[in-house]
Structure 1
Amino acid sequence: VLSKDKKYEKLYLKGNEFFKIGEFDDAITYFKKAININSSYCPAIYKLGLSYKKLHDFKSFVEAFESYGDVLCEKFDDEVKFQLGEYHFLNGKIFLSQKYLNGINEKENFPLLSKYLINIRYYLNHQFDSSLFYFESKSSISHYTFQYSPFINSSLNRIYFTGREGMNLFDDEDIFYVEKDKYDSWKIPNKLSSKINTQNNEGSISFSSNSKFMVYTSCELNFKKNSCDLFYSEMIDGIWTIPKKMDQNINSKYWDSQPNLSSNGNILFFVSNRPGGQGGRDIWYSIRTNVGWSRAKNLSGEVNTEFDDIAPFISENMLDFYFSSNRANSFGGFDIYRASNFNMDFGNINNLGLEINNQLDQSSFVMGDGMVVYTEENIFNSKVKSKLIIGKVNPIIDKDLNYHLSFLVMDSLTKKILRPNIALINSKINDDLFTIDFNYEGRVYIERQNFEGENFLLNLRGYEPKIIKSQKVKTDLIVLMNRMKSYFVLENVYFDFDKYDLNVEVKKYLDIIHTWLLKNQNLNIEIGGHTDDVGKDVYNMNLSSKRAYSVYEYLTSKGGVDNLSYKGYGNTKPREDEVENSKNRRIEFKIL
């Protein structure tokens, strides 16, 4: 008869043989028998917990690992604490996770440990920050094990997405779409035709706004290489053409995926791990030309980092750019961020906040038709690893008004967020009848009914005055302010040929400049008049002096301004960047 010591060890070794070949149910049976004989036998408890985790029985996995700590096991103590810390973090139990992770002794053995601790610190420091979106309601699509990379097709009233039914990497992935029924609920998803979905893995579809051009990903998977490329198809006479692989200007021999088309269909953003990036996976872009798509470039600005930066989405107005990243300042794993587009130079990165991001992985953000759709992944969900979250948008500024103006003010060179003084100029609207709000990221919201045609003066010490005019439609703007140099041009003050009188529009502009002067009495300013190169030098010098004086006289006649002087320069200082003589018939302010 075997001694008890020999018996539970033998049962453990038998269970370990099943564990090594992936027969986890049988392994559990033998590990539990060993533990029944010796309840403090640490190797069996440890492998029992791992077996439950392999079978996605996470409740039993946690119970086994917690009992490992109770019996004071030492050999795998750090590993158990890490796995429990990771599990509790991804389930939103932040303080419990922090307890386990901080208890690890040999922290250098766990590459992900520092990332989790950084995420916890960021979570605790930013859990009460404002979010960039708030939802009236949320729903989800979770028909398959994995669903991700959504795209809202407004013209067809559909959400397209990638779906995979199995748990394994090499299970087939296809493109699906879903529509709403008459009760405003989402129907069962439909799979696209075999023209698009093949024996390869297809996904990440994107359409132009008129739904006549599509780009998607097709991946040829084998055990040696995961090769993904972008394909496109066009609708001609109501029929989609046979998909074609995009050329070498876009595709590479590396992983190319996750396309997103701009609303006009002329810019294609996508993700690649090709060389030449900032590190990890980066976002790249190509521009449609008359002869095809341009050679892809790495996205400039602050979006790409040494981390993975993926899942691009450009807003319809081309001003806001959304993407996902596992960079340090996240609530956990991948978070979704918004950047501002400055003529294809992207900056002012902001985390969308806890309304969307949390300790899990969020990615593939899209918006349209009053809703937001994004992917949320949870590796500890035993049935659905990733699902689509659909939020009915309730924007931060969403009052029942006829008009609102929204803009972001930035330094024109550094793209630093600025918070200038904002004044409504020459209006019959009382100040208490409209509101100006800065949200936490610096975006300005101005709300009032019937704002059309109103002028706003932006004033900030050290910067040139900036004037914006409200437009008829609701819009989002990016306003760039120039740092004050020794001089600047009054952009709206130009003279007709051989004239020095001020027309009505110029006087309206100077009225606003007068308000700016009242706010900047500390500056001594010379008003400089200039001419084009037509005529004799002496005549032009006299004409430029008259132009400078006409502006000086108008501004000083309005009162309250005693820091001005004037001088004519003739045609001695033409604008270097202007070939049109009309732009040289100008006024400049020189800071003395």
Structure 2
Amino acid sequence: MADLVADAQIHGYSIKREEEAVRRRGEGTGRKGGFLWNLSILLLLALFLLAGPSFAQTKKAKALYDQANKLFGERKAREAIPYMEQATKEDPSFLDAHLKLGQLYEFTKQYEPSLTAYRQVIQLQPDSPSSGVAYQALSATLLRLGRYADALPYLEKFQAKFAPQSMQAKRIGRQIETARFGLDALAHPRTVDPRPVSPVLQTTPSQYFPVLTADEQTLVFTALKPEGDEDLMVATFNGETWTPPTSISSDINTPENEGTATLSADGRTLVFTACQGRKGYGSCDLYVSRKTGSDWSPPENLGPTINTGSYESQPSLSADGRRLYFVSDRPGGKGRRDIWRSDLGTDGQWREPVNVGEPINTPFNEASPFIHANGQSLFFASDGHVGMGGYDLFVSDSLTTTNVATSSTVTQGSALARQAITKWSVPTNLGYPINTSEDQASLFVSASGKRAYYSFEEQKDGVSQKSRLYTFDLPESLRERVKPVSYLKGIIADAKSKKPLAAMVELIDLNTNQIVSRVQADVQTGQYTAVLPTGGEYALYVSVPGYLFKSLSFDFTQKSQGEGVNLSVPLEPVAGGKTASETLNNLFFEYGRYDLADKSRTELDRLAAFLKANPAVSIEVSGHTDDTGDAAANLTLSQKRAQSVVTYLTSTGGIAPARIKAIGYGKTRPLAPNTTDENRRLNRRIEWRVL
């Protein structure tokens, strides 16, 4: 499991595009390999140029050395190696030849010979400037290979050559931290058993950056095609197997590169990255497409608030699609590339992004943020936090609100839903073998917190061959960190005509009266998916103008495991003749009392808002009990509870008393036989209906 997720877009360049950089300019969206190849070229050229004059005892050794350098400058690294090898044989004390031979071996991923060459430099002249380069290269290579115990002695000797507070000593100190962390991580591995998602998905040379809907039924990923084009592909799970992947849409995929996508929980909002071929603002921009029925809309650039002349990529949407995390190197960041966040306003426009700040962002690079469906756990990659080398995966938790909705009122006169997630826990390294000495760049964790998805890079002789989509069960130690969520999905339709309705579905925290999420059902199909966090009490409201709203109650205070619920919701039209009653499921009374609990305000504010939106409507509020206790007492209690609702609506909600009447029915109109505790709970209720 050498590299779980090394493909995801860290640097924003694709392999193919970088290999073709001599022919045309452009940036891809998915993989890092080509960029690192060119970066290695530049670094080695710099080292070659900065090494100073070379000293050889024989002209033949010098000529061989010069010929090797010439070939490398022509991007012929492998052809250069025999000449440099021969130069060291002609003159075994030729220090620069040994050093550059090690660099050539390293560049061509022949790591064992490169280590031997670097050690030879140190042995020949341990105190020369060239030995410093050898110490640096030797220890860095050992770290890259995960040989932390071998790297530590060289790092400690190298650090001793510099003043304790110097930049060089601090840089080496970071490497020493990496070696020590790596040793400890290897000694305490997490239980991880990776397996391919499905061979059915392997229709292109490489697949990477997987994202899924909350129900894990729809998978979108980036595919690298044989011609070098990156496209977004989609596959669905039919209950047993995955369907063969297909292009997500001809309106989204083009002959240029599209990739690193993110989906809302219902799979109907897609944000992705494109770096060329579209009219944009910078090197890479973010685009959005929305799904109606089975069709995706033509992508739209997210605009100059999100996209700038800098680099924007690697998006991650909150479950309801109203909060966006992404990576940018725009001015005002903490480091090179930082994670930023923006909220979608009630006007449908993205707000000015804010830097998520410390302790997540560092002076180095952060990449590939993924906000879990709980809106609270942020997974990301970083080469700035202490890890096992290169990019490691981390998780940080929100320490303030878990809200992911836009700033808007729950109902008229109620509190605003707070937006800012300003504080985060100190990031936790996900540990070995999720992280290794190789780069790990992205991870997707299911809504239930049980499974993780990533791309695994198959290698041969240290060279990446292809990427495949893998999954593993999240270790128990990490699963405890991820607050699971349930999801509710189904179809919303007119109760009489069965016509699908584009209803608004809102989840509200009953303890704070704040919106947790807001999604809209598909206008063509009526389908919806809403995420339900565990660990709280929530009211879920389904509403559309011209219909009675439906209220549902979910008590997850004792729930620790996320699971899905299928629930189709019929809505009764207001003007539909005899209107069926609706139960107010989020009213709360103490046993045997009629005083409304404070958390009932959410429900009552909803009913007041409905009445204000429908000024010609009058309603009856009815109270009901089970058969426990004295029938006369139950009748009185039911009347008083109904009257408590009416009193709130008139005194606090501002509804004219003539529009509402209260009536108590006691135990006379049960919904179910009073034979079980659950049936009795159903019978204890407050209903309302249009008169």
Same fold (TM over 0.5): yes
State how 1:243-258 maps to structure 2 within 5 Å: 243-258=299-314
State how 1:70-81 maps to structure 2 within 5 Å: 70-72=123-125, 74-81=128-135
1:9 to 45, 50, 62: 62
**Amino acid aligned to 1:158:** L
Asked if structure 2 preserves the Cα contact closer than 8 Å seen for 1:314 and 1:322, the reply is yes
1:219, distance to aligned residue in structure 2 (A) = 0.8
In the other structure, the counterpart of 1:158 is 219
Instruction: Look up the SS of the partner of 1:49 in the other structure.
Output: helix
Distance change in 2, residues 1:199/1:330 (3 Å): same
Distance change in 2, residues 1:11/1:310 (3 Å): closer
State how 1:421-570 maps to structure 2 within 5 Å: 470-471=557-558, 474=561
**Amino acid aligned to 1:206:** T
**Amino acid aligned to 2:221:** Y
1:286 to 342, 348, 367: 342
Structure 1 length normalisation: TM-score?
Answer: 0.59
CA distance in 1, matches of 2:60, 2:559: 84
Report the RMSD for the aligned CA atoms in angstroms.
4.6
In the other structure, the counterpart of 2:379 is 322
CA distance in 2, matches of 1:249, 1:60: 50
1:106, distance to aligned residue in structure 2 (A) = 4.5
* Residues 231-282 of structure 1 deviation map (CA, whole Å, 9 limit, x = unaligned): 1112234222221111223222211111111122222221212223333322
CA distance in 1, matches of 2:481, 2:138: 48
1:214, distance to aligned residue in structure 2 (A) = 0.9
CA distance in 1, matches of 2:112, 2:308: 44
Instruction: Look up the SS of the partner of 1:364 in the other structure.
Output: coil
* Residues 517-562 of structure 1 deviation map (CA, whole Å, 9 limit, x = unaligned): xxxxxxxxxxxxxxxxxxxxxxxxxxxxxxxxxxxxxxxxxxxxxx
Instruction: Look up the SS of the partner of 1:103 in the other structure.
Output: helix
Q: Does residue 1:118 correspond to 2:177, yes or no? A: yes
CA distance in 2, matches of 1:177, 1:62: 44
1:393, distance to aligned residue in structure 2 (A) = 0.8
In the other structure, the counterpart of 2:367 is 310
Q: Does residue 1:87 correspond to 2:141, yes or no? A: yes
CA distance in 2, matches of 1:64, 1:7: 20
* Residues 492-511 of structure 1 deviation map (CA, whole Å, 9 limit, x = unaligned): xxx99xxxxx976899x9xx
1:390, distance to aligned residue in structure 2 (A) = 2.7
Q: Does residue 1:372 correspond to 2:452, yes or no? A: yes
CA distance in 2, matches of 1:144, 1:40: 50
CA distance in 2, matches of 1:271, 1:63: 39
* Residues 380-410 of structure 1 deviation map (CA, whole Å, 9 limit, x = unaligned): 97431885673321541799xxxx99979xx
**Amino acid aligned to 2:210:** P
CA distance in 2, matches of 1:394, 1:291: 38
Asked if structure 2 preserves the Cα contact closer than 8 Å seen for 1:232 and 1:244, the reply is yes
Instruction: Look up the SS of the partner of 1:220 in the other structure.
Output: coil
1:179, distance to aligned residue in structure 2 (A) = 7.3
* Residues 303-326 of structure 1 deviation map (CA, whole Å, 9 limit, x = unaligned): 334332332212222232222222
The unaligned stretches of length 5 or more in structure 1 are 409-444, 447-451, 453-467, 477-494, 497-501, 510-578, 582-592
In the other structure, the counterpart of 1:232 is 288
**Amino acid aligned to 1:335:** D
CA distance in 2, matches of 1:35, 1:474: 64
In the other structure, the counterpart of 1:277 is 333
Deviates more, 1:9-18 or 1:377-386: 377-386
2:118 to 53, 61, 65: 65
1:128, distance to aligned residue in structure 2 (A) = 5.4
Distance change in 2, residues 1:34/1:179 (3 Å): farther
1:345 to 422, 447, 453: 422
Asked if structure 2 preserves the Cα contact closer than 8 Å seen for 1:371 and 1:390, the reply is no
**Amino acid aligned to 2:395:** R
In the other structure, the counterpart of 1:204 is 260
2:463 to 373, 383, 408: 383
Distance change in 2, residues 1:327/1:19 (3 Å): closer
Deviates more, 1:390-399 or 1:6-15: 390-399
The unaligned stretches of length 5 or more in structure 2 are 1-55, 402-420, 485-533, 538-554, 564-587, 598-650, 654-691
Asked if structure 1 preserves the Cα contact closer than 8 Å seen for 2:146 and 2:182, the reply is no
Asked if structure 2 preserves the Cα contact closer than 8 Å seen for 1:323 and 1:363, the reply is yes
In the other structure, the counterpart of 1:42 is 95
In the other structure, the counterpart of 2:153 is 99
Asked if structure 2 preserves the Cα contact closer than 8 Å seen for 1:119 and 1:328, the reply is no
CA distance in 2, matches of 1:46, 1:405: 47
Distance change in 2, residues 1:290/1:95 (3 Å): same
1:181, distance to aligned residue in structure 2 (A) = 11
**Amino acid aligned to 2:321:** G
Q: Does residue 1:334 correspond to 2:410, yes or no? A: no
CA distance in 2, matches of 1:405, 1:92: 27
CA distance in 2, matches of 1:329, 1:359: 12
1:165, distance to aligned residue in structure 2 (A) = 7.2
1:211, distance to aligned residue in structure 2 (A) = 1.9
CA distance in 1, matches of 2:482, 2:129: 59
Instruction: Look up the SS of the partner of 1:392 in the other structure.
Output: strand
Instruction: Look up the SS of the partner of 2:265 in the other structure.
Output: coil
CA distance in 2, matches of 1:397, 1:504: 44
- Higher RCO (C-alpha 8 Å, min separation 6): 2
**Amino acid aligned to 1:383:** V
1:111, distance to aligned residue in structure 2 (A) = 7.8
**Amino acid aligned to 2:473:** V
Q: Does residue 1:216 correspond to 2:272, yes or no? A: yes
Asked if structure 1 preserves the Cα contact closer than 8 Å seen for 2:220 and 2:261, the reply is no
Asked if structure 2 preserves the Cα contact closer than 8 Å seen for 1:405 and 1:470, the reply is no
**Amino acid aligned to 2:211:** F
Q: Does residue 1:23 correspond to 2:76, yes or no? A: yes
Instruction: Look up the SS of the partner of 1:61 in the other structure.
Output: helix
Distance change in 2, residues 1:227/1:64 (3 Å): same
Count residues with an aligned counterpart: 417
Structure 2 length normalisation: TM-score?
Answer: 0.51
Whichever structure has more strand as a proportion of its residues is 1
Asked if structure 2 preserves the Cα contact closer than 8 Å seen for 1:309 and 1:325, the reply is yes
**Amino acid aligned to 1:116:** Q
Distance change in 2, residues 1:126/1:265 (3 Å): same
Instruction: Look up the SS of the partner of 1:361 in the other structure.
Output: coil
CA distance in 2, matches of 1:59, 1:580: 78
Instruction: Look up the SS of the partner of 1:357 in the other structure.
Output: coil
CA distance in 1, matches of 2:562, 2:216: 21
Distance change in 2, residues 1:397/1:336 (3 Å): closer
